[in-house]
């Protein structure tokens, strides 16, 4: 039996018929990015909606002091999108960079719109992903205020253990809002427990 296409696995919960699923999958194009290559840079407009098949991608913004601060990580079977830039056609303020060699599946804005308006299950699946992204963003912004750095690190390990072994600790530290030194101390504390 042939291996199921990654998009079929990702979209399986969208209640698409077999015909709709085939139609949706056929609109995506496979693209590869090399380690350190940019998928999208600050100042550009996002023209594509991506799903990650393999590899790790980081989004980051540059603060007023010139430091790059990680805003997100994306890996296998996750959606990779700058929502406001894609839908509102505003230039993004973030960079999206491959941390490893990556394989992604991309869908252009016009194809997305056509599928969104013609296939109800695709539309509802897209809305669910948007709402899920909003909830994750809300949880993260609240955690940055209410949780200790150690709690934020442990939550990241729980939710995305693969990041710890595949992403630089410097990037993880900026994502958690702490220094590399603080992250090293937290990791040593946890190792002793």
pLDDT for 77: 92
Q: What pLDDT, in 10s, does the model give residues 99-116?
A: 999 999 999 999 999 999
**Tokens encoding 15:** 């209640």
* 44 DSSP 8-state letter: S
At residue 44's C-alpha, the angle toward residues 10 and 105, to 5°, is: 20
Residues 6+ apart with CB under 8 A from 6: 51, 53, 77, 105
**Calpha distance 111→95 (Å, rounded):** 24
Domain boundaries, the chain: 6-120
- CATH code: domain 6-120 is 2.60.120.10
pTM equals 0.91
Give SS3 for 30. strand
pLDDT for 9: 86
pLDDT for 172: 95
pLDDT for 4: 61
Q: What pLDDT, in 10s, does the model give residues 60-98?
A: 999 999 999 999 999 999 999 999 999 999 999 999 999
């Amino acid at each position: 039996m042939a291996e199921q296409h990654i998009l079929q696995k990702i979209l399986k919960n969208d209640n698409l018929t077999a015909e709709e699923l085939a139609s949706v999958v056929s609109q995506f194009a496979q693209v590869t990015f090399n380690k350190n290559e940019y998928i999208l840079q600050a100042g550009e407009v996002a023209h594509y909606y991506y799903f990650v098949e393999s590899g790790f991608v980081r989004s980051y913004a540059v603060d007023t002091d010139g430091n790059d601060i990680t805003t997100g990580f994306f890996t296998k079977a996750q959606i990779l999108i700058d929502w406001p830039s894609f839908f509102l056609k505003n230039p993004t303020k973030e960079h999206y960079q491959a941390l490893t060699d990556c394989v992604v599946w991309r869908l252009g804005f016009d194809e997305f719109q056509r599928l969104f308006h013609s296939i109800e299950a695709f539309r509802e699946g897209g809305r669910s992903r948007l709402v899920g992204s909003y909830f994750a963003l809300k949880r993260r912004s609240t955690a940055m205020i209410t949780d200790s750095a150690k709690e934020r690190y442990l939550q990241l390990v729980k939710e995305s253990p693969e990041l710890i072994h595949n992403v630089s600790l410097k990037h993880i530290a900026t994502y958690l809002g702490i220094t590399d030194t603080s992250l090293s101390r937290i990791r040593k504390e946890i190792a002793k427990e």
